[in-house]
């Protein structure tokens, strides 16, 4: 008898983010496996096994800690420090390294949109900058962009602490549409 893979459908909730997980095909364990389904009205997870509930709770507890570990190669700049620096005599160049559609939906005021995969070709826009701040939504593309900047000997590179979510959580407004 051939075992069919079971589908695992999860609903992830955090303070600022609610999104459905992808459907993952996972082989059922010989002892019965794990199936997670969601309630149609509340979208809260329903677990078939108590162990699954405990594992889910453990994941949600550890996820913020794991996400907070930093692999950044540049110093962080807080939204407040960035705002103060932009009001000074030598403002920094702020680069939103997300795709153009994401940039258009909301970005830090004054930020240029240079997607991380096009940054190496557009380094001429950074000529004469006193420093550069890069950000994305959660940090993955920021890390790629800062690596590109470091490899091309760009000085005074910072990353925005918390990315765009950190900017919003600090109470600063975002600008929608094109242009800085």
Active site residues: 136
Both tokens assigned to 6: 């079971």
Both tokens assigned to 14: 């955090």
Tokens 């920021």 appear where?
A: 142
**Residue 111: how many CB atoms within 10 A of its CB?**
24
Distance of CA 160 to the CA centre of its chain: 11
Contact 169, 87 (CB under 8 A): no
Tokens 């096994």 appear where?
A: 49
Distance of CA 56 to the CA centre of its chain: 22
Contact 149, 119 (CB under 8 A): yes
Task: Let me know the angle formed at the C-alpha of 108 by 20 and 133, rounded to the nearest 5 degrees.
Answer: 105
Contact 133, 142 (CB under 8 A): no
């Amino acid at each position: 008898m051939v075992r069919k893979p079971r589908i695992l459908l999860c609903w992830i909730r955090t303070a600022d983010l609610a999104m459905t997980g992808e459907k993952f095909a996972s082989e059922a364990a010989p002892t019965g496996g794990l199936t997670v389904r969601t309630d149609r009205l509340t979208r809260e997870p329903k677990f078939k096994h108590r162990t699954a509930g405990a594992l889910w709770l453990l994941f949600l507890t550890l996820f913020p800690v794991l996400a907070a570990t930093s692999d950044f190669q540049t110093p962080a700049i807080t939204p407040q420090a960035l705002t103060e620096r932009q009001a000074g005599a030598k403002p920094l160049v702020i680069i939103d390294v997300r795709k153009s559609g994401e940039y258009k939906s909301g970005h830090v005021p004054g930020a240029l949109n240079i997607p991380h995969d096009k940054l190496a070709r557009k380094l001429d826009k950074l000529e004469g900058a006193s420093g550069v701040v890069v950000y994305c939504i959660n940090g993955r593309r920021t890390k790629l962009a800062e690596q590109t900047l470091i490899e091309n000997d760009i000085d005074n590179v910072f990353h925005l602490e918390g990315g765009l979510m950190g900017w919003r959580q600090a109470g600063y407004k975002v600008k929608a549409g094109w242009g800085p």
